[in-house]
Chains A and B, each alone.
Chain A
Amino acid sequence: MTRRRFLGQLAAVGGGLALAACGASPRAQSTAAPAASGSTAPVASGSTAPAASGAVATSAGARATATSAGSGPVATSAGARATATSAGAAVTPGTGQARQVGITSFMNWDDIKGTPIEEVLQAYEKQTGNKFENVPNPGSGTEYETKVRTMLAGGTAPDIMRVNDDYVRYYSIKDQVRDLTPYLKRDNIKPEDYYAPIYDFAKQPDGKYGAWSIGNQPRAIYYNVNLFKAAGVPLPPKDWTKQGWTWNDFLETAKKLTKGDQQYGALVYDDTGSEQTWAVNNGVADGIFAKDGKKFTLADPKGAEAIQWLADLSCKHKVQPERGLVEQGTTPNLGNNLFVAGKVAMIFRTQGTINYFRRNIPKVGDPGSFEWDVAPVPGNVDQKSEGSLICFAITKPAKNPDGAWELLKFMGGPEGSKIFAERGAWITAHKASNDFLKPGKEPPASYPANLALFAKATEFGTVVNFTENTENARNVYRPEFAKIWNCQETAQVVLDRVRRDVEEALSGKF
């Protein structure tokens, strides 16, 4: 009897421990955080265009009653047009009428709860009367890719999937995504309404559109204004210029902002875009891979030098947190937390990180709060920044491809783009939606004052030269970089060692 009770207690303790373990993991935190942000997001929307959001609500309400009265189509188009005009965007032919296409299944790599994506999907439901079904994904990164490939091979992939921009080419060549050209033609989507580098990113050599690239998240340096002021260091430039913002200037600034292991000046080497960005800026014109997709140009001396520069920030100059502090086992993105905690003064991240910082940096007046803003990446031979393109594709096994297109069109078109742009999610491919970033206009409250820099960064964007074999090539060299980051080997030694295998993977022969 007592033993049984004892075992029961033990089980309870064990269960509690397991729960505590999950609760304490940063991944769980980051998924929990968006839920709370649901309450903060509307504030921003209210401050930008209360009239617009009101109009959306009324038109949607009108539509709901109209459908019940049996006069769907007319009311729908009226509602949609009302939204489009209130959004201040030109009415594009073809987007006015919403086709009734039923339920579309949709998969993103992160939890969409509380994100602009969820907001857009909900707006889609309201304005078109169609439904979406979210296919949740527990992890991101390689785990998402693994899941996608398994689903595609098994024919169970959802109608729409998020595609990492690196792999659009791969899925197109493997014929796992549908060509969007017929849809783009049918609905008369005008390329001139969109930024060409974003819009045409997913265009394959044979002219097919393997995905719709609806936005770009350029990378920039986020900085803690308070730490700069406390150290008496001049703030970085607001414009995209090398003037006073070279690699050396950046290093000197970082040194002044470092206080032993309590505060670090910079954190740049733990972002997936740092290899390409620093290599290009050091004069490797092609970036990581050559244009023809056959050569591993990062392994060239200039590329190795760039990687070494990144590593030296922590190994030699000690102005950057050691690797163990930003990447612990399989727990990603600890660096973001360091910035939020005020322990890192400058951090290199994509525009997509804005919403994480907005949610997690304490508000003015709360303890630990600080002012933050964005600056360009430091320049050397060049001053480019790798952008991440936001791509969604209609999968080959899609059961409702027409529904998928309607949803994609909504996300990438004026309606969705307006929301994405104003939430700071990304620079949208749809040009007019970014108008609020034009000089002289204040960004929405709680966004970095220099938000318009991201529009500038898009002009100075660089993208990796992708081939169908990019992922396999990456899987060869990325793990080896740990030796560079941990100061055990030099960049050139590691790059020389993996070069042959990377190029073999690129060739696709294996």
Chain B
Amino acid sequence: MAVRAKAFARPATRPRLSRRRLQQNLEGWLFILPVMIGVVAFYVVPLIVSFYTSFTDADGLTEAEWVGGFNYQRLFTRDQFFRRSVVNTLLYVGGHIPLTIGLALILALLCNRKVRGVTWFRTAFFIPVVTNVVAVSLVWNFFFSPRGGVVNWFLSLVGIAGPSWLTDSRWAMPAVIIVSVWFGVGFPMIILLAGLQGIPEMYYEAAKIDGASALGRFRYVTLPLLTPALFFLSITQFISSFQVFGIIYVLTNGGPARATSVYIYYLYQNAFQNSRLGYASAMAWLLFAVIALITLVQWRLQKRWVIYD
């Protein structure tokens, strides 16, 4: 590092790099070469290919033909199931993100107390994150069984006749959101916990001396200082919930009656069940554009609400 710093410190008057610089550059390139090859072969090339594919009628089996903007045009003009998948995705995102981050915040606050056995709880809440999504979904599949399932058994204790969650198109999406929140709450909880523990004690002491109530301390000390963590979470959760697939694939297969057919699931169906690779590629690029746009907006908006210590 020291050598490098020295090299940078040198005035940049000479137009040509010295031999030593060149050699250093070469070494650097060599070091990152394996990763570069990987990135180019497995990311850059497929990206370019999929962009091209989105303008063809490729099916993976026969020669692809150029169809121009047909795929994009059809998505917008006449695909009722595409529109439904967009609505479903928004429903999912609208349910998943507030619930996950809200619950994660509550859990993080609870787990931040100095109580006996708190590490036990932290571990317990985090366990779903390191569990396999297929195993989790299969277990929940049984929990949601209309008769004999745990969920409806609990509901029956309080006198509610539970629905047949996964086969009723009105309840399938709530069921998926419940599982996804249960499954995904651990990670944001850990991030928020780290954020909480990074808040210096002195702020709380100062607030106490000023007579702030517990709620006031949360509102004016904790929450503002957690905003960087919340910002990070809002972006990552947004992207990942737009791409939800595993839970739905195992739990509902997009059904019943496409009630849980979210964007990526519909994309998968087009690509691998209906052999419409071109159409699916167009969907993928559209999703990319939307996510990029939303992330950009979030990035711009952060100045309004994110407070860096």
A residues sitting closer than 8 Å to B (CB atoms) are: 3, 6-7, 10, 14, 17-18, 21-22, 24-25, 142, 145-146, 149-150, 152-153, 174-176, 322-325, 327-331, 471-472, 475-476, 479-483, 486, 488, 501, 510
Contact residues in A for B168 (Cβ distance below 8 Å): 324, 486
Contact A471 B274 (CB under 8 A): yes
Contact residues in A for B269 (Cβ distance below 8 Å): 475
Over the window 57-93 of chain B, the binary record of Cβ atoms lying under 8 Å from chain A Cβ atoms (1 yes, 0 no) is 0011110000000000010000011000000000000
**B119: contacting residue among A3, A149, A479, CB under 8 A:** A3
Contact B139 A328 (CB under 8 A): no
Bound: A486/B167 CA distance, A: 8
Contact residues in A for B132 (Cβ distance below 8 Å): 18
Contact residues in B for A330 (Cβ distance below 8 Å): 141, 249-253
Given contacts A322-B164, A325-B146, A501-B80, contact A331 B141 (CB under 8 A): yes
Contact B120 A6 (CB under 8 A): yes
| Residue B272, interface by CB 8 Å | yes
Contact A146 B145 (CB under 8 A): no
Nearest CB in chain A: distance from B152 CB, A: 10
Nearest CB in chain B: distance from A59 CB, A: 43
Contact B139 A329 (CB under 8 A): no
Contact residues in B for A479 (Cβ distance below 8 Å): 254-258, 261
Given contacts A7-B123, A176-B61, contact A486 B274 (CB under 8 A): no
Over the window 139-152 of chain B, the binary record of Cβ atoms lying under 8 Å from chain A Cβ atoms (1 yes, 0 no) is 10110111100000
Which of A3, A145, A324, A501 has the most C-beta atoms of chain B within 10 angstroms of its own C-beta? A324
Contact B273 A486 (CB under 8 A): no
Return the chain A residue nearest B253 by Cβ. A330
| Residue B7, interface by CB 8 Å | no
Contact B257 A483 (CB under 8 A): yes
Bound: A366/B74 CA distance, A: 60
Contact residues in B for A22 (Cβ distance below 8 Å): 135, 138
**Majority secondary structure, A binding face:** helix
**24 sampled A-B residue pairs with Cβ under 8 A:** A7-B123, A14-B131, A21-B139, A22-B138, A24-B142, A142-B273, A146-B272, A149-B61, A150-B272, A323-B164, A323-B256, A324-B146, A328-B141, A328-B144, A328-B166, A329-B253, A330-B251, A471-B274, A472-B275, A479-B254, A479-B261, A481-B257, A482-B169, A501-B80
| Residue B41, interface by CB 8 Å | no
| Residue B206, interface by CB 8 Å | no
Please report the number of residue pairs spanning A and B whose Cβ atoms sit closer than 8 angstroms.
115
Return the chain A residue nearest B172 by Cβ. A329
Over the window 256-278 of chain B, the binary record of Cβ atoms lying under 8 Å from chain A Cβ atoms (1 yes, 0 no) is 11110100000001001111100
Bound: A495/B73 CA distance, A: 25
Nearest CB in chain B: distance from A392 CB, A: 19
Bound: A115/B253 CA distance, A: 28
Contact residues in A for B261 (Cβ distance below 8 Å): 479
Over the window 274-287 of chain B, the binary record of Cβ atoms lying under 8 Å from chain A Cβ atoms (1 yes, 0 no) is 11100100000000
**A483: contacting residue among B61, B169, B249, B275, CB under 8 A:** B169
Bound: A22/B141 CA distance, A: 11
Bound: A79/B275 CA distance, A: 46
Return the chain B residue nearest A483 by Cβ. B257
Return the chain B residue nearest A478 by Cβ. B255
B residues sitting closer than 8 Å to A (CB atoms) are: 59-62, 74, 80-81, 119-120, 123-124, 127, 131-132, 135, 138-139, 141-142, 144-147, 164, 166-169, 249-259, 261, 269, 272-276, 279
Q: Which 6 A-B pairs have the closest CB atoms?
A: A324-B164, A482-B256, A482-B257, A153-B60, A324-B167, A329-B166
Nearest CB in chain B: distance from A408 CB, A: 22
Bound: A21/B143 CA distance, A: 11
Bound: A146/B169 CA distance, A: 25
Contact residues in B for A481 (Cβ distance below 8 Å): 257
Contact residues in B for A174 (Cβ distance below 8 Å): 59, 61-62
Contact A486 B251 (CB under 8 A): no
Which of B120, B147, B274 has the most C-beta atoms of chain A within 10 angstroms of its own C-beta? B274
Bound: A6/B145 CA distance, A: 32
Contact A21 B135 (CB under 8 A): yes
Question: What 4 additional pairs, Cβ within 8 angstroms, besides A6-B120, A146-B273, A329-B167?
Answer: A18-B131, A328-B145, A331-B141, A510-B279
Bound: A409/B178 CA distance, A: 53
Bound: A475/B259 CA distance, A: 15
Nearest CB in chain B: distance from A205 CB, A: 18
Nearest CB in chain B: distance from A17 CB, A: 7
Bound: A476/B270 CA distance, A: 11
Contact residues in B for A21 (Cβ distance below 8 Å): 135, 138-139, 142
Nearest CB in chain B: distance from A276 CB, A: 21
**A149: contacting residue among B123, B146, B272, CB under 8 A:** B272
Bound: A387/B228 CA distance, A: 62
**B135: contacting residue among A18, A472, A475, CB under 8 A:** A18
Given contacts A14-B131, A472-B274, contact A327 B167 (CB under 8 A): yes
Given contacts A18-B132, A330-B253, A501-B80, contact A482 B274 (CB under 8 A): no
Bound: A327/B166 CA distance, A: 9
Nearest CB in chain B: distance from A466 CB, A: 16
Contact A17 B139 (CB under 8 A): yes
Nearest CB in chain B: distance from A499 CB, A: 12
Nearest CB in chain A: distance from B144 CB, A: 7
Contact residues in B for A14 (Cβ distance below 8 Å): 127, 131
Bound: A3/B123 CA distance, A: 11
Return the chain B residue nearest A476 by Cβ. B81
Bound: A328/B80 CA distance, A: 26
Nearest CB in chain B: distance from A220 CB, A: 27
Contact B120 A482 (CB under 8 A): no
Contact B257 A25 (CB under 8 A): no
Contact residues in B for A175 (Cβ distance below 8 Å): 61-62
Contact residues in B for A324 (Cβ distance below 8 Å): 146, 164, 166-168
Bound: A475/B268 CA distance, A: 13
Contact B274 A475 (CB under 8 A): yes
Bound: A482/B166 CA distance, A: 11
Nearest CB in chain A: distance from B120 CB, A: 7
Bound: A152/B213 CA distance, A: 67
Return the chain A residue nearest B274 by Cβ. A472
Given contacts A153-B61, A174-B61, A486-B167, contact A325 B252 (CB under 8 A): no
Given contacts A153-B60, A324-B164, contact A329 B74 (CB under 8 A): no
Contact residues in B for A7 (Cβ distance below 8 Å): 123
**B169: contacting residue among A153, A488, A501, CB under 8 A:** A488
Nearest CB in chain A: distance from B186 CB, A: 13
Which of B61, B119, B146, B168 has the most C-beta atoms of chain A within 10 angstroms of its own C-beta? B61
Contact B61 A329 (CB under 8 A): no
Contact residues in B for A322 (Cβ distance below 8 Å): 146, 164
Nearest CB in chain B: distance from A480 CB, A: 6
Nearest CB in chain B: distance from A341 CB, A: 13
Contact residues in A for B62 (Cβ distance below 8 Å): 174-175
Bound: A174/B275 CA distance, A: 12
Which of A10, A327, A328, A481 has the most C-beta atoms of chain B within 10 angstroms of its own C-beta? A328
Nearest CB in chain B: distance from A507 CB, A: 13
Bound: A395/B153 CA distance, A: 50
Bound: A480/B259 CA distance, A: 9
Which of B120, B167, B279 has the most C-beta atoms of chain A within 10 angstroms of its own C-beta? B167
